[in-house]
Amino acid sequence: MDIASFVGLAGGIGVMALTIMLSGNLAGYIDIPSIVCTFGGTTSMVIFAYPFSKIGEAFGSLKHVFFYKALEAESIIKAIIDLANVARKEGLLALEEAAQQLQDSFLQKGILLIVDGTDPELVRNILETELSFIEDRHKGNQAVFEFMATMGPGFGMLGTLIGLINMLANLSDPSTLGPNMAVAIITTLYGSIIANVFCNPVVNKLKLRSSEEILMKEVMLEGMLSIQAGENPRIIEEKLKAFMAPKLRAKIGAEKEQKEGE
């Protein structure tokens, strides 16, 4: 679970609600025509722009915003070093049994390609192609929310224009000025909420998740190719640690020294 996502979303909603309550009446900010225009219009345009399968996939990716277990660099490097030790002691063919115990499908696929004697360049091409498609799929999911972030304020502005037109058309009837002005202003508020309280933060978090996953899979790729090349496990470890931030490298080194001292 990503506590930060829950705290951020709840905080954004809470700040708005508190501001409204301190300055006015919360019920006054609920307007059915504005809700229909802004939320209904945004939803309709998303359905217009994307097939249902893509919309479902995009909203399915929300679990990575609120419930996400990051790939830990330490465990990935340890798994690769363990595989390198097996290959060094027993040969590449011995990796087939070890591959069956791996939880990550990308790493397992690469190891099995190596066991099958696939040319290193072909292994790289296959896995880089898979990485490219993973990244494209992630960008496609992000694009749905980016589109919503555009459509929300857009329909907010449309609602504002509708409210202003109705207000100007009925200037002779003072009783209609309030409701029409409410539609004109509140639709803009709702559109801004769609974009700034939900969609834009979701897009940013999905981009972060994607970059983290791609980086970890690039670490796996370099590790697997190093194993296939027969490099020393210590050299492989140092090579993979180069992908990590200095703080994380120090942490991995400290954990290794602690284990060796036990």
pLDDT tens for each residue of the chain, 262 residues long:
789 999 999 999 999 999 988 887 888 788 888 899 999 999 999 999 999 999 999 999 999 999 888 778 888 888 999 999 999 998 888 898 888 888 889 999 999 999 999 999 999 999 999 999 999 999 999 999 999 999 999 999 998 888 888 888 877 777 777 777 777 788 999 999 999 999 999 999 999 999 999 999 999 999 999 999 999 988 998 888 887 777 766 666 656 655 555 5
pLDDT for position 163: 82
DSSP 153: H
pLDDT for position 254: 59
pLDDT, tens digit, 9 for 90 and up, residues 157-167 = 998 888 888 88
Asked whether the beta carbons of 170 and 180 are under 8 A apart, the reply is yes
Neighbours of 47 (CB within 10 A): 11
DSSP annotation string for 183-225: HHHHHHHHHHHIIIIIIHHHHHHHHHHHHHHHHHHHHHHHHHH
pLDDT for position 255: 61
Asked whether the beta carbons of 214 and 134 are under 8 A apart, the reply is yes
Q: How far apart are CA 146 and CA 202, in angstroms?
A: 9
Domain boundaries, the chain: 1-30, 32-72+122-261
Q: How far apart are CA 147 and CA 195, in angstroms?
A: 9
Neighbours of 112 (CB within 10 A): 15
Q: pTM higher than 0.75, yes or no? A: yes
